[in-house]
Amino acid sequence: MAEQSKHREISNALLSEIAAGKYAASGRLPSEVQLVKRFGVSRPTVARALRDLQAEGLVVRRAGSGTYVKEQAPPGPPARQLALMIPGFRSTEIFELICGELASLARAQDYTLVWGGAAGRNDDADETEQHALELCEQLIERRVAGVLFAPFELRHQGDATNRAIAERFQEAGVPVVLLDRDLGPFPTRCDLDLVGIDNFTAGYLIAEHLLKLGCRKIAFLRRPLAAATVDARITGVREALARHDLHLATDWLAVDEPEDAKVVGELLQKGKPDAIVCANDLTAAQLLRSLDRNGVRVPHDMRVVGFDDAKYATLVGVPLTTIHQPCRDIAVTAFHALLERIADPTLPARSLLLTPRLVVRESCGAFQN
């Protein structure tokens, strides 16, 4: 990895942790020595990453003391404040890169980006959702000009909380643009702008690719309570299969623990698909380990495809074929969509879906002799 991308990776990682509330306002970040050990880079690279955060107005560096999260209040007049609210930040890996780009865009346009904490003090669902509702009220009190909001997923009460947050912003007259996912089930659309990728087309692309490789029994692996984006991907896979008079293998559609080799082994006994499409790269990476423990070789015995093109997609035992998430383009599109919505609240709700790109690597078996 180039040195330039390494320093950007570090700054984005720290930025995401600040957004997630890991470091309180005025809290001290890890020392340069600690960051060198954590990321396995040189000290000048770490220093450059910290200077980037300082230039974004997110941290202050104190000689002989360290680097501290900058106090956000009062950041400026309300009309120049935008808010970023991602309550389920830790559940979706693409947000780290999206947040970094949004911070740069806000600064370039002379806006202050107000960060919302991503979770409560622990991972308790009720506390996290209550924290999100409280954060919504705080942002309204600050009179932010607009909000970029990524709804909850993987929560029993997530849909209700998402709707409550959106309705509260609408009641207060605060423009909202949704990031990555809609409020309701696919294919319904709410009355808010949505920016993400075309998940239906992405699912279709994956299935078509696997069909061309000779796969006929294709399964889809996801966790229960996944976002509507996952349903759109499944629908795309089903559409591609239907055009070949095939059907989706359903045993794998809701798996709580893909990292549990025993659970995966029990599913394999019910039926062994030619290929498994995973809801994201994390699920795919966990599945690779479980398949290996069950003596299933990827891609020789089974093909696996992920989604997101996470930074570790090339580092797992078998590099993952996956759908690339254009994080920078998502950030740019969402940022400008919010500015347009602020300028004209009467615009009809828009679905700004970017074209997906399939990244072919070893896990799909395309390079087998």
According to CATH, the topology of domain 199-325+358-364 is Rossmann fold (3.40.50)
Q: Domain residue spans in the chain?
A: 3-69, 78-195+327-354, 199-325+358-364
Contacts 24+ apart (CB under 8 A), 344-349: 345/173, 345/175, 347/193, 349/189, 349/190, 349/191, 349/192, 349/193, 349/194
According to CATH, the topology of domain 78-195+327-354 is Rossmann fold (3.40.50)
**Residue 119: pLDDT above 70?**
no
- 265's enclosing H/E stretch is helix 261-270
Residue 59's pLDDT band (boundaries 50, 70, 90)?
confident
pLDDT for 255 equals 79
According to CATH, the topology of domain 3-69 is Arc Repressor Mutant, subunit A (1.10.10)
**Residue 148: pLDDT above 80?**
yes
199-325+358-364 matches 78-195+327-354 in CATH topology: yes
Mean pLDDT of 342-357: 95
Residue 156's pLDDT band (boundaries 50, 70, 90)?
low
Question: Terminus-to-terminus CA distance in the chain, angstroms?
Answer: 29
